[in-house]
Amino acid sequence: MRLRRTLRVGLVGHGFMGKAHSNAWRQAPRFFQLPADVVLRTICGRNARALKKSATQFGWKKYATDWRAVVNDPEIDIIDITTPNDSHCEIALAAAAAGKAILCEKPLALNVTEAQRMTDAVRKARVVNMVCHNYRRLPALALAREMIAEGALGDRLFHYRARYAQDWIADPDFPLVWRLRSDTAGSGSLGDIGSHIIDLGRYLVGEFREVCALSETFVKRRRLAGHRKRRARVTVDDAVSVLGRFRNGALASLEATRFALGRRNGLTIEINGSGGSLVFDLEQLNRLQFYNMCDPEKGRGFRDIIVTESAHPYVGHWWPPGHLIGYEHSFVHTIADFVRAVAGQKNVAPNFADGLANQQVLAAIAESAQSKRWVRL
Amino acid sequence: MRLRRTLRVGLVGHGFMGKAHSNAWRQAPRFFQLPADVVLRTICGRNARALKKSATQFGWKKYATDWRAVVNDPEIDIIDITTPNDSHCEIALAAAAAGKAILCEKPLALNVTEAQRMTDAVRKARVVNMVCHNYRRLPALALAREMIAEGALGDRLFHYRARYAQDWIADPDFPLVWRLRSDTAGSGSLGDIGSHIIDLGRYLVGEFREVCALSETFVKRRRLAGHRKRRARVTVDDAVSVLGRFRNGALASLEATRFALGRRNGLTIEINGSGGSLVFDLEQLNRLQFYNMCDPEKGRGFRDIIVTESAHPYVGHWWPPGHLIGYEHSFVHTIADFVRAVAGQKNVAPNFADGLANQQVLAAIAESAQSKRWVRL
Amino acid sequence: MRLRRTLRVGLVGHGFMGKAHSNAWRQAPRFFQLPADVVLRTICGRNARALKKSATQFGWKKYATDWRAVVNDPEIDIIDITTPNDSHCEIALAAAAAGKAILCEKPLALNVTEAQRMTDAVRKARVVNMVCHNYRRLPALALAREMIAEGALGDRLFHYRARYAQDWIADPDFPLVWRLRSDTAGSGSLGDIGSHIIDLGRYLVGEFREVCALSETFVKRRRLAGHRKRRARVTVDDAVSVLGRFRNGALASLEATRFALGRRNGLTIEINGSGGSLVFDLEQLNRLQFYNMCDPEKGRGFRDIIVTESAHPYVGHWWPPGHLIGYEHSFVHTIADFVRAVAGQKNVAPNFADGLANQQVLAAIAESAQSKRWVRL
Amino acid sequence: MRLRRTLRVGLVGHGFMGKAHSNAWRQAPRFFQLPADVVLRTICGRNARALKKSATQFGWKKYATDWRAVVNDPEIDIIDITTPNDSHCEIALAAAAAGKAILCEKPLALNVTEAQRMTDAVRKARVVNMVCHNYRRLPALALAREMIAEGALGDRLFHYRARYAQDWIADPDFPLVWRLRSDTAGSGSLGDIGSHIIDLGRYLVGEFREVCALSETFVKRRRLAGHRKRRARVTVDDAVSVLGRFRNGALASLEATRFALGRRNGLTIEINGSGGSLVFDLEQLNRLQFYNMCDPEKGRGFRDIIVTESAHPYVGHWWPPGHLIGYEHSFVHTIADFVRAVAGQKNVAPNFADGLANQQVLAAIAESAQSKRWVRL
C-alpha cells in the first residue's frame, strides 16, 4: 500500500500575494481531491511583529524572518515566492539548490538574465517549478483555451487584443511605492500587469515574433512613501502600448496602464479568428463571450457564457451552476495543479521556461519603447 | 396595364404621435417598395396656428381644423387617428361610415363598449383597419415572433414577463395633463403603456385566460397644467401590476409604471419556454437575447443578437448590418404593411378586433384592481 | 486580562449547504478579526461513509451520525442547521433546550407553527439565533441597504421588484428530489428561493402588508430519484408570482421560478424611489446599479458600481478594489457577524423572529395562491 | 422683410452613402428649424437605369449621368459627393470652381496631394465646405465633446483608445470590390473606417504628434466581383493598428479591422483623463458611459447615460427622452448644420482643412506601416 505524501510549504512574503497564496494553500485541499496532503508550515517575512500576526491570520504553523533558513529547512518541500520582484531570483536559486519545488509570483524576475539563471537552476536541480500566472486558471480563460484548441475560432487567428487597465496611481499624490521604482520592480505597468496579458497571449494564441512599443510615465515625480513632501523620480512606466505579431500571423494589440480611471482591475481580451470571436473581462470574470459563425445567420450574436457549469474547467469543484466564484479562486486552481505536479513529479505550465519567455517579451517591449524601433523575438 | 394607385392620407392629431406618424408616412415609400403611392394630404387639429406650423414641418399639403370634413373628404382614402383616446371612437365610426381605411393609435378606445362599436363598424363597412401597436414591427420583436413560431423556445411556453416602465411623472410637480385624467385617457399607465405589453403578449404568446391586478396612484393630486397652484385629483393609475395566465398555460407577469426613475422608456420582455428563452429591452431596441438549450452545454449562454441583418424582418430595407435603427422605424414598418393591406384590400394585424381583445384585457385588469379579485376573460 | 473565547461548532447536514457553511466557518477567521476563535468540532449526517469523507474534505475534527448527541455535546457551543427543511424545527428546539447558539438555513421551518415554536424556544432559552439569509451580506446588497437608509432613493419608495429565476428542473426528466416534495421541503420555488426575495424585501424596503399570488406546477409528475420509470406526483410549486403592498405604500412584484432557461441562479432586484433607483443581479453579484436623480440632467444614467472598495461593506476584508469575490463569501460574512454576536451575546439579524415573519409571508402567499384571493398580513 | 432662401442640392453617387445622404436631405428640414428651404434637385450616377430608380425611391426631382453638368448647373447651390474616393478630388475642384457649397464623404481624397488641392480650391473659391464625418454628430459623441470641453475628464487626458472593427470581408470568398483596391479606395480599413477614429481623436482629444503603425492583409487574393474563379491581388490593408501620441501628451491606441467576427459595425472609444473616463460603442449609439472621480467613493461607477434628453445635443429635435434614434440620424444632424452654414455663409467643422489633416495622419500611418518606423506629423 502506497503511503499518502504530505507536502510542507514555506511561503516567502506576506503582503497581498502572500495573503492570496495562503488562502489558496488552505482552500485547494478543501475543494480538490489532491494526491498529497498540504501543510502550511512556515511563512517568512522581514517584520517579525507583522509577520506573527499574518501567520495567525493566514493559518501558518510557524513564521520565520530569515528566508534562507526556510529555504534550507529539511521539513519543507515547497517554496512559494511572493516577495517583490528583485528578490525572486536569489530565493529561487537557493530553493532550487535545496531541491525544493518552487512556485514563484510573476513576473519571474527583474530581467532576462535573472530569468535565464532561474530556469537553468530548476532544470539542473530537476525540481518542479511554476510561475504563478493565476489568470490562466480562471475557468473562463481555461475554457477559452479549450475552445480555441477545439477549433471554435476556426483554423486561423487574426487578432489578439488585450488590455490590462487599472487606475490606482492616477492620483498624482499617490506615493512612490516599491512598484514604482525600477530597482525593486524592474518595470511598472509593463511587468506587473503587462506580463499577465503577454502570458495569456502565449497561452491562448502562441509565441510572439516581433513587437513595437510606446511607454509613458505621466507623473514623473512623486512623494516618497511615509513622507509628506520629499519627492523622487518615478523610474518605471505608468502605461505601455504594444503592437506585435505572433509567429502564426495573428496581430497583437496590447496595453497596460495604471491611468484609466474607473478600470479598477480591468483586464479585457478579445480574440478574433476565422470561425468566431471570444471576449473576456476580468471585472466579469465568471463570463466568456463567444461569437460563433456556425450559428444560423438569423440567430448569431455574442453568447454570454456564465462559466459555472460542471462541464467547464475547475469550477465544478465549487458550487452548483450559476453560483459565481471570485478572483482568489484562480490561485486555488493554480495551487491545486501545482500540488498535483509536485506529488507526481510532473511538469506543469506555466513553468520557469514560460516565465523566461515572458521576460524576453517584456525586455523586447522595453527595448522597443526605448529605441522607438520594432524588436524581433 | 394596371394603374398604380395613389393613397391620400388624412391625419387627425399633430402631437407626439402625429409627428411620428407623419414621419412614417413620408419614410415608408422611401425605404419600402410599396404597391401604391402615398400622399400626405391633410393634417387635422384644433389649434389652427400650431397646426399650420405642423403641416409645414411634417410635410402635409393641407391642414384642417374640422376632423369631420377630413373624414368625409372624397379626396382622402385613409384616416389616421392620433388624437387623445376619448376621440378615437367617434372619429373611427365616422371614417368607417365614409368608407375610409383606418389606422388608429392604441389603445383603440376608452373602453370595451367603444372598442366593440368600432370593430363592428369597420367590419360592416369592410374597410381595412389597424391599431398602431408599432412595437410588433420592431425587427427584434418581429424576429422573436418568428423564432417562437419556428420552435426556438420549444413546444411549451412557461413565462411571459413584461414590464413597461417610465419615469416622466415621478416628480410630484409634474402637471395634470390629459394622460392623467380618466375622462380623456380612460386609464393611466395601464392603457397608455400597459396596452403595449398586452398586445405583445397576445402577439408572442397567445390569448389571456385570466388576470389579477393591483393598481396605484402614488401622487393623488397634481396642479392643473398652466396653473401654478390650482390642483385637482389624478383620476388614473400611476402604476399597475398584473398576474395572469394564458390559455396555453403560460404564466404572465406584467407591470406598467410611470414611477421608475431611470427607466425613460423601459419596455422589457422575457419569455421562457421549454427549449430556450428570449429577452428584449426597448432601450436597446436593435437587440434580442436568445438562450438556446440546443447549444452544447459548455457553450450555452444568452446570445446578444444585433437585429440588423438582411435575414431579419424589416431591417434589411434600411442600412447594412450593424447599422442601428431607432424608435420611429417601428412606425414606418407599420405603415408600410398598412399601405400594402390597403392597396390589396387585405387584412393586417393588429386590426380593430385585436384592439378590442386588448381592451377586454385592459378592462379585466381594471376590474380586478378595483374588486381585488381574479377576473376571467 | 480577558481570556479569548473559543467557539466550537457542530454542523448538521453535509450537502451543498453543509459545504458552503463549512467553508464559511473556516474562512471567516482568516479574513475577519473575530472576537473568538472558531473550531470546526463535529459534522453530522446520516450516511457515515459519505460523512467521514465530508469531515475530512471540509475540515471537521469529528463526525457523528446522531444529531441529538451533537446538539447535547457539552463541548459544542454553536449548532448550525443545514438539513432539509422538515428537520429544522426539531433540531433547533433541541439545540435551544441545550443552550446552544443556533444558525439555521432558510426557510426557517416547514410552516408558521414550527417557525413560531422555534422563535419562542430561542427567546425562552435566550440563545443567539440567526437565519442564514446569506444574500443580505453580499456587499452589493448591504450597500443597497446603506444607501436606502441614507436617503439615496429619496424619502419614498414606489416599487420593489424581485425575481429569483432558476432552470434546474425545467427538464421534465429531472427526478423527484426532496426539494420537489411538500413533506420534506414545505413548498417548492416559493420557500427555497422565494424566501430569499421576501427576506430582501423586508431588509431593503419594509414589512409586507398584503399579498396576492399565483402558483403553478408545470411538470405534474416526475420519476422517483434512483428509479428509471416509477413516477410520482410533484407536490410543490414550480413557479410562483406575487403582487403585494408594503406597509409603507411601496408595491411589490415578486417571482420565483425554476423554469426560466438560461437563468442558472438569477436573482434580480429593482427598487424605485422618489430620488433614484437601484438594480441588482446575483449573476453579477459584485455590482450594484444606481440611478441618482441628483446627478445633473445631462449626465444621468445608471451607475455600474463595482462593489469592491474599502468603503463598501465587508469586501475590504478580502482583496484590493476591482478584485471580485464570489457566492460563498456571503456565507463567510454571515458567519463572521454571527460569531461576533455569539461572542458578545448580542442580537443579530436576520434572527428567528425574522424567519418567522418570512414564514408568515410564505404562508400568506401559499394561501393566496390556493384561494385566489388577496391575503392580509 | 428678408426672403427665405432655397438651397438646391445636387448629389453625386447613389450607393449606400447616396441613400444615407438623400435621407438626410429629406429629413433635416422635417426635424430642424432650418434657415433655408432645401430642394433635392438632381441625383447623379453612371448607370441611368439604376439611377432613375434611385431618384424616385430617394425623392429626387431629376437625375443626370454627367456629374460635370450637375456641378455646373446654375440651378444648383450645393454639391454633395458620395462617390468612391478616387473621384472626390476632381468633382470637388470642379464644384469649387463653379462656386458651389460642397459636402464631401470621407476620406476627403485618395492622398494628401489631392486633399491639399481640394482644400486650396475651396479656400480660394470661398465656398462653404464640409467633410461628412457624420459620427461627430451622434448625440453621444457630441455630448462627449461637450463634457470634455467642460472639464468632466479633468485637466489632462491620458489615453484615447479607439477601435473600428467590422467583419464583412473576413470570409475569404468575399469578392474584390472597389473598397479592396488601392486605385479606387486609396487604402482599406485605414481610410474607410480608420479615418473615422482619427477624426474623432482630433475632435475629442486634439492633434496627433506622431504615429507608429502595423498593417496586414490577411487574405491576399480574392476573386473578382462578378467572376466565379478569376482572382486578383488585394491591394489594400485588411487591418491596421496604430500607436500614437497627441500634442497634448495623451497616448493613442487605434485599430481598424474588417476581420473581427461579430463586430458588424463596432466602433468603440475609451478616453481616460485625470478626472474621469468616457466610453462609447457605436453598436449602442444612444449611450455614453461616464466615470466621474467626483462621485463619492462609495457610489462611483460608469454611468450609462442614455443620450436622448432634451439637454443633449441634437436629439431633442426627435422624440421624447428614452426613445432611441439610429445610425442615419448622424447624417441628418450633419446636413442640418451644413445647411445652416451654407445659408449663413459660415464655416462649419469638420471642413476640408480637417479632411486634409485627417489625410495627413492616414498618410503618416501608411508610411509607418510600410517603413516600420515612427512617423512625426
pLDDT tens for A99-109 read 999 999 999 99
Tell which of A38, A135, A264 to mutate to test the C interface (max C CBs under 10 Å).
A264
Average pLDDT of the residues in A252-279? 98
| Cα torsion D304, D309, D315, D320: sign | positive
pLDDT at C2: 61
> Span D348-376, mean pLDDT?
98
Residues in chain A with CB shorter than 8 Å from the CB of C30 are 22-23, 26, 57-59
Res A2 pLDDT > 80: no
Which of C159, C214, C373 is nearest residue B257 as measured by Cβ atoms? C159
The distance in angstroms from the start CA to the end CA of chain C is 50
**CB of B181 closer than 8 Å to CB of C183:** no
φ, ψ of residue A112 in degrees (nearest 5): -65, -40
Tell me if C327 and A324 make a contact (CB, 8 A cut-off): yes
Cell of C375: 391575503
Contact A158 D239 (CB under 8 A): yes
Task: Check whether C43 has a pLDDT greater than 60.
Answer: yes
Q: Would you state the cell numbers that stand for residue B363, as one nine-digit string? A: 378592462
Q: What is the full DSSP assignment across D233-274?
A: E--S-SEEEEEEEETTS-EEEEEEES--TT-SSEEEEEEEES
Q: Which amino acid is at D312?
A: H
For residue range A315-337, list pLDDT tens digits in order. 999 999 999 999 999 999 999 99
Q: Determine contact, residues D217/D236, Cβ cutoff 8 Å.
A: yes
Nearest to B304 among A304, A306, A312 (CB): A304
C253-274 average pLDDT score? 98
Asked whether the beta carbons of D237 and A156 are under 8 A apart, the reply is no
Closest CA to C331 of C169, C103, C67: C103
Q: What is the mean pLDDT of chain A?
A: 96
CB contact under 8 A, A372 and D212: yes
Predicted confidence band of residue D26 (pLDDT cuts 50, 70, 90): very high
Residue B239: φ, ψ to 5°: -155, 150
Q: Which residues of C touch B241 (CB under 8 A)?
A: 243, 251, 253
User: Interface pTM (ipTM) of the complex?
Assistant: 0.96
Nearest-Cα distance to chain B for C376, in Å, is 12
Helix (H, G, I), strand (E, B) or coil at C238: coil
Closest CA of chain B from C342, distance in Å: 41
Nearest CB to B306: which of A290, A301, A311? A301
To the nearest 5 percent, what fractions of chain A are helix, strand and coil?
Answer: 40, 25, 35
Contact C198, C136 (CB under 8 A): no
Residue D98 Cα to chain centre, angstroms: 25
Count chain A–chain C contacts defined by CB atoms under 8 A.
85
Contacts of D368 (CB under 8 A, 6+ apart): D211, D212, D213, D242, D374, D375
User: CB–CB of D300 and C304 under 8 A?
Assistant: no
In chain B, residues with a C-beta closer than 8 Å to the C-beta of C239 are 158-159, 251
Residues of chain A contacting residue B322, judged by C-beta atoms under 8 Å apart = none
> Which residue in chain C has the smallest CA separation from B212?
C212
Q: A166, C318: Cβ pair inside 8 Å?
A: no
Whether cis (ω within 30° of 0) applies to the bond prior to A29 is no
Classify the C-alpha dihedral D72-D75-D78-D84 as positive or negative.
Answer: negative
Place of cell 506543469: A348
Residue D227: which pLDDT band, with cuts at 50, 70 and 90?
Answer: confident
The position carrying cell 435551544 is: C96
CA B374/CA B212 separation, integer angstroms: 5
Q: What pTM, to 2 d.p., does this model score?
A: 0.97
- Between strands D5-12 and B208-216, the pairing is unpaired
Give the side-chain half-sphere CA count within 13 A for C155: 2
Mutant choice from A148, A168, A190, A243 vs D, greatest count of D C-beta within 10 A: A243
A235 contacts A176 by C-beta, under 8 angstroms:
no
Mean pLDDT in residue range B324-330: 98
Q: D216 vs chain C: nearest CA distance in angstroms? A: 35
Q: Going by DSSP bridges, is the β-strand pair A251-257/A239-246 parallel, antiparallel, or unpaired? A: antiparallel
- The cell for D365 is 500611418
pLDDT in tens, A16-48: 999 999 999 999 999 999 999 999 999 999 999
Best of D294, D298, D307 to substitute, by most chain C Cβ atoms within 10 angstroms, is D298
Strand pairing class (D221-223; D276-281):
unpaired
Mean pLDDT value across residues D105-127: 97
Quick one: cell of D241?
493598428
Question: At A186, is the pLDDT very low, low, confident or very high (cuts 50, 70, 90)?
Answer: confident
Using CB atoms, which residue from A298, A301, A311 is nearest to B298? A311
Q: Between A292, A301, A312, which is nearest B305 by CB?
A: A301
Nearest-by-CA chain C residue for A321 = C264
Question: How remote is the C-alpha of C1 from its chain's centroid?
Answer: 38
Name the phi and psi angles at B42, rounded to 5: -140, 135
pLDDT at B359 over 60: yes
Phi, psi of B273 (to 5 degrees): -125, -175
- Indicate if the pLDDT at residue D1 is higher than 70: no
Q: Chain B residues contacting A, CB < 8 Å?
A: 143, 146-147, 152, 287, 289-290, 292, 295, 297-306, 309, 311-312
Banded model confidence at residue A4, pLDDT cuts 50, 70, 90: confident
Out of B251, B277, B293, the one facing C216 most closely (by C-beta) is B251
> CA torsion A149→A151→A156→A161, rounded to 10°?
-60
Q: What is the mean pLDDT of chain D?
A: 96
Structural contact between residues A325 and A308, judged by C-beta atoms closer than 8 angstroms: yes
Which of A148, A153, A155, A159 would best serve as a mutation to test chain D binding (most D beta carbons within 10 A)? A159
B143 chain-A contacts, CB cut-off 8 A: 298
Q: What is the pLDDT of residues D289-342, one digit of tens each?
A: 999 999 999 999 999 999 999 999 999 999 999 999 999 999 999 999 999 999
Q: Is B357 left (phi over 0), alpha (psi -120 to 50) or beta?
A: alpha
CB contact set of C111 (below 8 Å; sequence gap of 6+): C186, C359, C363
In chain C, what is the greatest distance between 2 CA atoms, to the nearest angstrom? 67
Cβ within 8 Å, pair B327-D327: no
pLDDT band at A184 (very low <50, low <70, confident <90, very high): confident
Rounded mean pLDDT, D46-73: 97
| Residue A192, C-beta contacts closer than 8 angstroms, at least 6 positions apart | A107, A179, A185, A256
Q: Are the beta carbons of B264 and D324 separated by less than 8 Å? A: no
Give the count of alpha carbons within 13 A of C170, CB side only. Answer: 26
| C-alpha to C-alpha distance for D231 and D225, rounded to whole angstroms | 9
Cα distances (Å, whole numbers) of residue D87 to D11, D68, D126? 13, 12, 21
Cα distance between residue C220 and residue C237, in whole Å: 9
> In the prediction, which pLDDT does B227 show?
83
Residue B2 has pLDDT above 90, yes or no: no
**Which residue of A284, A300, A303, A306 is the best one to mutate when testing the B interface, meaning the one whose CB has the most B CBs within 10 A?**
A303
What's the residue count for chain C?
377
Contact A295 B303 (CB under 8 A): yes
Q: What are the DSSP E strand ranges found in chain B?
A: 5-12, 36-44, 62-64, 78-81, 101-105, 129-132, 157-165, 208-216, 221-223, 231-233, 239-246, 251-257, 266-273, 276-281, 287-292, 302-306, 375-376
Predicted pLDDT at B4: 86
CA distance D60 to D55: 5
Q: Residue D204: helix, strand or coil by DSSP?
A: helix
CB D299 to CB C305 under 8 A?
yes
Cβ–Cβ contacts within 10 Å for residue C344, how many? 12
Q: Could D264 and B308 be called an inter-chain contact, meaning their C-beta atoms sit closer than 8 Å? A: yes
> What residues pair up with C253 in beta bridges, in sequence order?
C161, C243
Residue B247: alpha-carbon gap to chain centroid: 23
**How far does B62 lie from chain C, in Å, by closest CA?**
38
What DSSP assignment string belongs to A75-135?
T--EEEE-S-GGGHHHHHHHHHHTT-EEEEESS--SSHHHHHHHHHHHHHHT--EEEE-GG
Grid-cell match 489558496, residue found: A24
* Confidence category of residue C227, pLDDT binned at 50, 70, 90: confident
* Cβ-defined contact of B272 to C261 (cutoff 8 Å): yes
Asked if pLDDT for residue C199 goes beyond 80, the answer is: yes
Mean pLDDT of C204-208: 98
Average pLDDT in the B87-91 region? 97
Torsion of CA C134, C137, C139, C144, to 10 degrees: 110
pLDDT at B1 over 70: no
- Amino acid D355: pLDDT: 98
Residue from B157, B158, B209, B289 to probe the interface with C (highest C Cβ count within 10 Å): B158
Q: Sort out which chain C residues have CB atoms less than 8 A from B375's CB and list them.
A: none
State yes or no: pLDDT of A1 exceeds 60.
no
- Label residue B215 by pLDDT band (50, 70, 90): very high
Give the tens place of pLDDT for each residue, C285-325: 999 999 999 999 999 999 999 999 999 999 999 999 999 99
Minimal CA separation from D118 to chain B, in Å: 30
Place of cell 439604376: D50
Angle, vertex CA A277, rays to CA A274 and CA A279, nearest 5: 160
Q: Find the CB nearest C306 among D295, D301, D304.
A: D301
Contact A225, A294 (CB under 8 A): no
Rounded Cα distance between C90 and C301, Å, is 50
Please give the pLDDT value at position D178.
87
Q: Which of B86, B95, B74, B10 is nearest to B45 (CA)?
A: B10
Burial code of B194-226, b = ≥16 C-beta within 10 A, e = fewer? bbbbbbbbbbbbeebebbbbbbbbbbeebbeee
Mutual angle of helices C88-97 and C112-125, in 10-degree steps: 10
CB-based contact D301 A218, cutoff 8 Å: no
**Strand-pair partners of B163:** B255, B268
Supply the mean pLDDT for chain C.
96
Q: In chain A, which residues have their Cβ closer than 8 Å to the Cβ of D245?
A: 214
Q: Which chains touch D (3 or more CB pairs under 8 A)?
A: A, B, C
Task: Tell me the CA distances in angstroms from A353 to A246, A350, B368, C120, C141, one per residue in order.
Answer: 18, 8, 72, 65, 45
